Amino acid sequence: MNIVDAPSPNFGPRAEGKKIKYLILHYTGVESAFEALRLLQGGDKDHQVSAHYLVDEDGAVSRLVAEEMRAWHAGKSYWEGETDINSCSIGIEIQNAGHEFGLPAFPEAQIDAVIELCRGIMARHKILPCHVIAHSDIAPERKQDPGELFPWKKLADAGIGQWPEPGTGEEGDIDKILTQFGYDPKVDLKTRVTAFQRHFMPEVFKMPEKVGVGDPDTVQKLQSLVKKKLGQRPKAPDCRPK
- Contact call for residues 198 and 134 (beta carbons, < 8 A): yes
pTM to 2 decimal places: 0.94
Digit-coded pLDDT (tens) for 72-116: 999 999 999 999 999 999 999 999 999 999 999 999 999 999 999
Q: Is 93 a catalytic residue?
A: yes
Q: How confident is the model at residue 160 (pLDDT cuts 50, 70, 90)?
A: very high
Task: Answer whether residue 237 shows pLDDT above 60.
Answer: no
Digit-coded pLDDT (tens) for 105-147: 999 999 999 999 999 999 999 999 999 999 999 999 999 999 9
Task: Answer whether residue 234 shows pLDDT above 70.
Answer: no
Domain ranges of the chain: 1-163, 164-231
d(CA 93, CA 50): 9
d(CA 230, CA 207): 31
Catalytic residue among 93, 116, 148, 171: 93
Q: What is the DSSP letter of 42?
A: I
CATH number listed for the domain at residues 1-163: 3.40.80.10
Identify the burial level of 115 via C-beta atoms within 10 angstroms of its C-beta, where 0-12 means exposed, 13-18 middle and 19 or more buried: middle
